[in-house]
Structure 1
Amino acid sequence: MRSSRLVAVLAVVALGVAGCGGGDDAAASASGPSGTLTVFAAASLTDVFTDLGRRLEDDHDGLTVQFAFAGSAALATQITQGAPADVFASANGAQMSVVTDAGLADGDPTVFAGNVLQIAVPPGNPGGVTGLADFARAELALAVCAPEVPCGAAAEAVFAAAGVTPRPDTQEEDVRAALTKAELGEVDAALVYATDVAVAGDRVEGIPFPEAEDAVTGYPLCTLAAAPNPGAARAFVDLVLSEEGQRVLGAAGFRGP
């Protein structure tokens, strides 16, 4: 039984062109895309893209979709260093520009979704967090994303809008790492995306804050110029942009583009 496989970034790099290209990963055959499709995508897309990958597999016998989910900055770096991938989906335009400025995109990227930040706290909110100003409280254990990744850049924007000087205890490499800190009760609050709070369910409580609207994140995606499987890459992008794909993204809490 086929399933979408989550692949660590470094493992994807180690695959090499032979692991992602060749006869099995050639462009779509006459009957539709087949072989292996490799998608590099922002960590906040883990659940929804896995769902979409399974849908594409179900529609095309012989197609396997594998993902590398991580911080957009790490993924952009891997692509510019030659990692074999077919599609890149970033959590902001800045990291997509790293790829496009290097001439590695096949055409212009398309923004397919939006997102906003939200505060995640452990169940019961033991730190008594009520809003963004609490990220200045030295007595709390606090997690944010590192500034070079999209959720960290968005955090800097909302703190500036609120006039808050944050005092985080940890800066995580991607948004799911920050979320995990709150899920495990290792921090009193983490600044993550609203969609991550939704995915966590009852493992965290979400606290919206008005300044989030000052840093709405747009998610662009593109096929890559050196894609080992360009036919499958186009099929995946088409699915994401389709009415079905937009419905799946909306159900996961993402905003429209």
Structure 2
Amino acid sequence: MHLRRALPLLAGTMLLPLLAACGSEDKANDPTELTVLAAASLTDVFKEAGKAYEKDHPGTKVKFSFAGSQELAAQVRQGAPADALVTADTKTMNDLSQETNTPQVIAKNRLTIATAKNNPKNIKTLSDLSRSDLKVVLAAPEVPVGRYSKKILDAQHVTVKPVSQEPNVRAVLSKVSLGEADAGIVYVTDATKDKVATVTVPDDQNAVASYPAATLKTSKHKSEAADFVKWLSTNDAQKLLRTAGFQQP
């Protein structure tokens, strides 16, 4: 082959490994993106936690998908690509033991009655929720907060006929804050975020919600996912959770 023709081919051949190496280097420098499925009641605090985690772990990006725990469980069973799961109850997590690694409780919560601002219907106790003049909204019974609500109402022999049953706690809160319902049962941490009034449920009539976190066995970033779940129990993460109104695990 003529030398003048051979030189461009030789140069191109030498350039290919260099380009491949550059591409590999760029890919290696890309941050790892973790997808965390989290209970709707964690929406606000986890957005803050994600920012804090990314600041301390510049090689990792955290993307959250918030929904009711039962919806998250369905996503996991259907094989949705994700790395970690945080639910608002231990039952949902335990039912996913084949799909998750060992969970750890990272926070606890309690229930409260949310009412319209200034509590115009003068709701004082759980028993008031049975009044015929009230429009009460609850979470569906398959949702953790709905299950907790049923538990405390049954314990007080209170019969409530909800005007609707919602898919997650944020939907319950929205109905009350928008004036579509007079009252609803939500988590203490959610009621502080909207324009509603609250009626305290005494501890001896209340229920404690536990929030377990676990990595998913199908995660493609097992090490990074394990680091994030472990971080949720550190002082930095726990401080954020306490500030948001969650209780110690």
1:162 matched residue in structure 2:
156
Q: Which runs of 5+ in 2 are unaligned?
A: 1-23
Q: 1:234 to 1:57 in 2, by over 3 A?
A: same
2:20 matched residue in structure 1:
none
**1:239 maps to 2:239:** no
Matches within 5 A, 1:64-143: 64-100=61-97, 103-106=98-101, 108-143=102-137
What residue identity is the alignment partner of 1:216? V
- Superposition CA RMSD, Å: 1.9
1:44 matched residue in structure 2:
41
Q: Which runs of 5+ in 1 are unaligned?
A: 1-22
Q: CA deviation at 1:51?
A: 0.8
Q: CA deviation at 1:197?
A: 0.9
TM-score (ref. length: structure 2):
0.85
Partner SS state of residue 234, structure 1: helix
Matches within 5 A, 1:185-196: 185-196=179-190
**1:35 maps to 2:32:** yes
Matches within 5 A, 1:198-237: 198-200=192-194, 203-210=195-202, 213-237=205-229
1:5 matched residue in structure 2:
none
2:248 matched residue in structure 1:
256
Whole-Å separation in 2 of the counterparts to 1:158 and 1:204: 21
CA contact (8 A) 1:114 1:255 kept: yes
Partner SS state of residue 161, structure 2: coil
Q: CA deviation at 1:162?
A: 1.1
Whole-Å separation in 2 of the counterparts to 1:169 and 1:211: 27
Whole-Å separation in 2 of the counterparts to 1:124 and 1:90: 32
Q: 1:181 to 1:212 in 2, by over 3 A?
A: farther
Whole-Å separation in 2 of the counterparts to 1:250 and 1:237: 17
Q: 1:93 to 1:126 in 2, by over 3 A?
A: same
Larger radius of gyration: 2
What residue identity is the alignment partner of 1:161? A
2:55 matched residue in structure 1:
58
